[in-house]
Amino acid sequence: MKKGLLALLLAAGTFIGCQESTDTPNEQQSKVDMSDFYLFTDQYESKTNSKDDDDKCYSMQELNRQLKENPGLYKKMYNAELHTRKHTAKGKPTGGGGSNGGGGDTDVDVTIVADNLGVVNIPVYIHIVYPNASSISNSQVTSQMSVLNSDFSSTNVNQLPSGTTFANDATDAGFSFTLAGTFRHDDATSSWGTNNSVKSAYPPITPETHLNIWVCNIGGGILGYAQFPGGAASTDGVVLGGDYFGVTSGVYGAGRTATHEVGHYFNLRHIWGDGRCRQDDFVADTPSADSSNGGCPTFPSISCKTADMTMNYMDYTYDACMYMFTDGQRNRMRAIFTSGGARASMAGN
Ligand SMILES: [Zn+2]
């Protein structure tokens, strides 16, 4: 123990060099670079009545709105990010990219950070809100739970062919999901929009310990939206359009809107950082991308001089064409469940 501490102190001393500092050694060790942190994104504008890929997910626009309306939210999310970066710094990348992300290289490897959490089980409440709530079947509910369980444990049927680019980055994120209850509400409202009104009408149940998912018609071509860690408990959770909930049909019918939105709920950003090449998702082993990818791209899809990770759950590709989280995303998601993290209470911490 003492030897390890001495080594750390020596390493810190070497790194800091001759800079004068009044920080204690522990404070020096915990210094993390927050200079690239941002919350407001380029994606401000609502484009209603569009099926354009840009509108697939509304989580960032909803975040922008909440940041404008709630001045205290920025600080809460900054603190959540600080905690996350302290945790993920233990899995520093090799092969390129900075400690906070900036993964411009295709060939960046991130070490999985040991966190003693084991498989984190997430109990889930599902609120189905439709004029005829029975129109969303129990088999949709069951299949959605199965998709979440397989995608977050990397046991999904779609997988990277071994030996291909990014194959080393695909990971078991270490989460499982258990259905805690399904609630059906017959409600004549035809379209709920993206402003959390469905959550006001049917409030979340114990959001400190449970993931709440609302299934309703959102409208405007939006498939779903999620609240990031750090937001208000009264609006915490994920909203999904019924056409994209569970295994249904069509290009977004494989249940992966939920996987993507739960990724946000676990603090993942979009793979392209919701900006141009200069903005990042704070994950080192996801290459920089200039914008979202839609459809089912043929590899490689190049932007920012490297191949985009179009098969990542946090892009906008078709359900069958997205099938991986990376080691860096795993570290980032799990950080918020460690002691002091924004969702630590869900993991009993
Ligand atoms: Zn999204």
On whether residue 234 sits in a domain, the answer given is yes
What integer pLDDT is reported at residue 100 of this predicted model? 46
Q: Which of 216, 225, 221 is nearest to 188 (CA)?
A: 216
On whether residue 28 sits in a domain, the answer given is no
Q: Return the minimum-mean-pLDDT range out of 160-164, 199-203, 312-316.
A: 160-164
> Cα(14) to centroid of ligand 1, in Å?
41
On whether residue 278 sits in a domain, the answer given is yes
Task: Choose between 210 and 5: higher pLDDT.
Answer: 210
Asked if residue 1 has pLDDT above 70, the reply is no
Could you confirm whether 81 is annotated as catalytic? Answer: no
Dihedral angle sign, alpha carbons of residues 327, 333, 339, 341: positive
What is the tens place of the pLDDT at every residue in 249-302? Answer: 999 999 999 999 999 999 999 999 998 898 899 999 999 999 999 999 999 999
How many distinct structural domains can be found in the chain?
A: 1
Task: Look up residue 132 and give its two tokens.
Answer: 């005829």
> Cα(223) to centroid of ligand 1, in Å?
9
> Cα(292) to centroid of ligand 1, in Å?
10
Q: Which of 174, 111, 123, 145 is nearest to 334 (CA)?
A: 174
- Mean pLDDT value across residues 75-103: 78
On whether residue 189 sits in a domain, the answer given is yes
Asked if residue 48 has pLDDT above 60, the reply is no
211-216/238-241 β-pairing: parallel
What integer pLDDT is reported at residue 162 of this predicted model? 76
Domain CATH for 81: 3.40.390.10
Q: Which of 20, 27, 69, 261 is catalytic?
A: 261
Residues with CB under 5 A from ligand 1 (ion): 57, 59
> Cα(321) to centroid of ligand 1, in Å?
16
Torsional class of 331: left (φ above 0), alpha (ψ -120 to 50), beta (otherwise): alpha
Asked if residue 8 has pLDDT above 90, the reply is no
> Cα(8) to centroid of ligand 1, in Å?
38
On whether residue 33 sits in a domain, the answer given is no
Q: 128 with 179: CB under 8 angstroms?
A: no
Asked if residue 105 has pLDDT above 70, the reply is no
Q: Which of 333, 332, 331, 311 is nearest to 322 (CA)?
A: 311
Residue 17, number of CB atoms within 10 A of its CB: 6
> Rounded distance, CA 184 to CA 225, Å?
20
Q: 80 with 229: CB under 8 angstroms?
A: yes
**Omega cis (within 30) before 300:** yes
> Cα(217) to centroid of ligand 1, in Å?
17
> Rounded distance, CA 277 to CA 37, Å?
15
> Rounded distance, CA 25 to CA 30, Å?
9
Residue with tokens 């522990």: 26
β-sheet bridge partners, residue 238: 213, 226
Task: Choose between 64 and 29: higher pLDDT.
Answer: 64
> Rounded distance, CA 271 to CA 214, Å?
24
Asked if residue 24 has pLDDT above 60, the reply is no
What integer pLDDT is reported at residue 2 of this predicted model? 36
What is the tens place of the pLDDT at every residue in 211-224? Answer: 999 999 999 999 99
> Cα(278) to centroid of ligand 1, in Å?
19
Q: 200 with 237: CB under 8 angstroms?
A: no
> Rounded distance, CA 97 to CA 285, Å?
8
Asked if residue 52 has pLDDT above 80, the reply is no
> Cα(114) to centroid of ligand 1, in Å?
27
Report which DSSP code applies to 185. E
| Backbone phi and psi for residue 79, each to the nearest 5 degrees, phi listed first | -65, -40
> Cα(284) to centroid of ligand 1, in Å?
19
> Rounded distance, CA 92 to CA 114, Å?
13
Asked if residue 74 has pLDDT above 80, the reply is yes
Tell me which range, 3-7, 42-46, 100-104, 270-274, is most confidently predicted by mean pLDDT.
270-274
Asked if residue 112 has pLDDT above 60, the reply is yes
211-216/302-303 β-pairing: unpaired
What integer pLDDT is reported at residue 43 of this predicted model? 59
> Cα(83) to centroid of ligand 1, in Å?
22
Crossing angle (nearest 10°) for helices 73-88 and 327-335:
130
| Residue 7, C-beta contacts closer than 8 angstroms, at least 6 positions apart | none
| Residue 248, C-beta contacts closer than 8 angstroms, at least 6 positions apart | 140
Confidence of residue 149 (pLDDT cuts 50, 70, 90): very high
On whether residue 20 sits in a domain, the answer given is no
pLDDT averaged over every residue in the chain = 87
On whether residue 291 sits in a domain, the answer given is yes
On whether residue 39 sits in a domain, the answer given is no
Please count the residues of the chain: 349
With 0-12 CB in 10 A as exposed, 13-18 as middle and 19+ as buried, what is 132? Answer: exposed
Residue 135 sits in which domain range? 52-344
β-sheet bridge partners, residue 121: 176
In the chain the first and final C-alpha atoms are separated, in Å, by 24
